[in-house]
Chain A
């Protein structure tokens, strides 16, 4: 992976691109969530990322990559309203804390930080890959960051699609048992959007 140094502005662009992707795909996320969830993932994510962009672009923007992610995570926890809030909030906040107060971070440091965030998400939700959750996109996606941003986006997208034949073992979808099979997990789908947005701003 390249030696690019990523600054706070890059991270603000990432969050802004993620918000735009969530906006664009909100209807699809809600459609996926209406099959196996309570049909609010798109609107919840839209509300959360709108709050993130507002916090990052109105007034003084956080000065370091770590502070950008920590602020974004906090906004998601307080404004999403569903399980995605604490899960995505924990992902970004834990990654932000791992990045510390460096003014710039390398792609490898970003990968390590996100990896710590992914571990925290697994702990919070008591879940692992294969449970048909956001981890099925995040785990392969973040691992592929070792190669490139594009590889990460592709691996996360593949991971999301690979949730289709799985039976849900976590969250509301788990109550459906076998009826959860055959539908893409909405959380994995939105996680793929997050990594696609990262690749988009890194390109």
Chain B
């Protein structure tokens, strides 16, 4: 609980309309999109300026208050949930696009700008901001930077990290740190910017972001390829990569996902197919034509059941939009959707599908799998009911075994959703106790009192292997 004088100081800083502490408000800000995590904070503030963020962190320091930054709460690892109570700081009212610099090809924004809004603003100026997570209509750039979000175009264009050029960050004691700039090259000392990207709000609060923009591709072509089994879909991905073609997008959906998405979008996806790949090649028109031809030949060679080329840009856009709803659409089937973020080297894709199939049977589960196949980043999603303890424990066993295999193949436990609260137990398995210790020393250097987003990334002694069981 926070004492009344502290509450009134917070209110002085942000103003009455930018602070919430009624029980109902706290209850609905105790979750993000991660199932099974619900921990209401003690107070919620919506700063609208960097100065306010500084002042809020000073109050937090003086009173020992934990601070959990939050964007739109679409995170899938519990990152923006107040694990230790205290203050949730929502940055989504800082949503101005401050500048689009056409001479340097950069955009500078406040952290609460919605991803798609930046894309559109850049597009209006004939520029392109590629990162496009499935949640792009809702998620904020602050959240994207802190999770290093990927997206449908990650294969060719990379992830959020590849576009961040500068950050303004308020540290846990209220000091300001600016790192990076509009320089294309910059090796002045440690790369704090790169450390901050993907740090899940544990090192500082981001209040300004400068990203790189690029010229948009001149042409593109979109395909849907249908398969009678997931393994050949996986093989198609590996073969395309091996042929040294880098499409912008190679997204995969299995039958369960196709059906759920079709229930929602009703665009005539074939329900009986085992899987589909959404492939988009873009770039110079001549190269697009050539790549499209090579992709088609490979798809035929791996015996894709059918290949469909999008008629026009509208159809291509609606196919991508449909893919973006995959996770939410899977939630139609069952009360709880436990999603994972397993990522493997791309040569292992076909085997990974085999493994998922085997484990689905072994643990008698319903699983829908979709993901950024071109990145080797899959989201096997267990469709279950959190009220069924037995089913939940089988689901956890499924992930344990799957991750053991993924790690053995040199994969990672998180391709894009972060560790947060959900996957703390897995981190040491991937990077070793030594790796975790170095990370903790860095955390201490930035935030010695452990006030910023406590309870994330690092497992306490008591919570070694209990992922998902917060």
A and B: partners? no
> Which residues of chain A have a CB within 8 Å of any CB of chain B?
none
